[in-house]
């Protein structure tokens, strides 16, 4: 088995990045649903589950970045035999999954009202506390965090998280 991609097959690194991304998304969903189904709001258990969700989301952003770098620097294997329509559907599905894998961590971070504690060796400040928020949202759009948070949460939780990603997986 080759480490790099070949014309016939994905390499070991691409496969591991694929599996890691899938496992991380399952972990993010699991911690989110655990928080909502099995804990009371604003309890230490709920906070811990949401911190795990946020940490996994930040990890997804890193792994997806590495995955995109790997894809850009390695050849993609040749298409399997099939019709042009089947290949088009597969390519559209892959690009849609990549879009979701990029947009979900970004909107999750931008719509988070709290710091991400315990991300490996450091904490990640909430987006509202960053210079980028002041520059783009507060001064640029003239919005408060509460006004900005609502559409980010809708995109992250209701649109992509509840519908689009599950439809793409199916």
Which tens digit of pLDDT belongs to each residue from 53-103? 988 999 999 999 999 999 999 988 998 899 999 999 999 999 999 999 999
CA 46 to CA 38: how far, in whole Å? 8
CA 126 to CA 107: how far, in whole Å? 12
Read off the pLDDT band of 117 (50, 70, 90).
low
The residues near 13 (Cβ < 8 Å, ≥ 6 apart) are: 3, 4, 70
Average pLDDT, the chain: 90
Q: What's the mean pLDDT in 34-55?
A: 91
Confidence at residue 113, expressed as pLDDT on a 0 to 100 scale: 77
More confident residue, 65 or 1: 65
Read off the pLDDT band of 118 (50, 70, 90).
low
Please give the span between the terminal C-alpha atoms of the chain, in angstroms, as a whole number.
Answer: 29
Read off the pLDDT band of 139 (50, 70, 90).
very high
* Whether pLDDT at 120 is above 80: no
- Give which of 119, 115, 117, 105 is closest to 152, Cα–Cα: 105
* DSSP element (H, E) containing 123: strand 122-124
Query: What burial letters (b/e) apply to 27-55, b meaning 16+ CB within 10 Å?
Result: bbeebbebbeeebeeeeeebebbbbbbbb
Read off the pLDDT band of 163 (50, 70, 90).
confident
For the record, the structure tokens of 36 come out as: 């909502």
The vertex-88 CA angle with 86 and 89, nearest 5°, equals: 65
């Amino acid at each position: 088995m080759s480490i790099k991609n070949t014309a016939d097959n994905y390499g070991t690194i691409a496969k591991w990045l694929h599996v890691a991304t899938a496992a991380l998304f399952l972990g993010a969903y699991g911690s989110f649903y655990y928080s909502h189904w099995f804990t009371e709001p604003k309890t230490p258990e709920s906070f811990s589950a949401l911190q795990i969700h946020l940490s996994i989301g930040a990890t997804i952003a890193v792994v997806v970045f590495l995955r995109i770098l790997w894809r850009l620097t390695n050849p993609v294997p040749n298409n399997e035999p099939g019709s042009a329509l089947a290949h088009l559907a597969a390519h559209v599905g892959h690009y849609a999954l990549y879009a979701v894998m990029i947009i979900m961590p970004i909107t999750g971070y931008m719509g988070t009202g709290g710091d991400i504690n315990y991300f490996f060796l450091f904490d990640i400040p909430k987006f509202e506390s960053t210079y980028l928020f002041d520059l783009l949202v507060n001064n640029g759009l003239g919005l408060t965090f509460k006004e900005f948070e609502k559409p980010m949460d809708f995109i992250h939780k209701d649109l992509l998280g509840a519908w689009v990603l599950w439809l793409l997986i199916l």
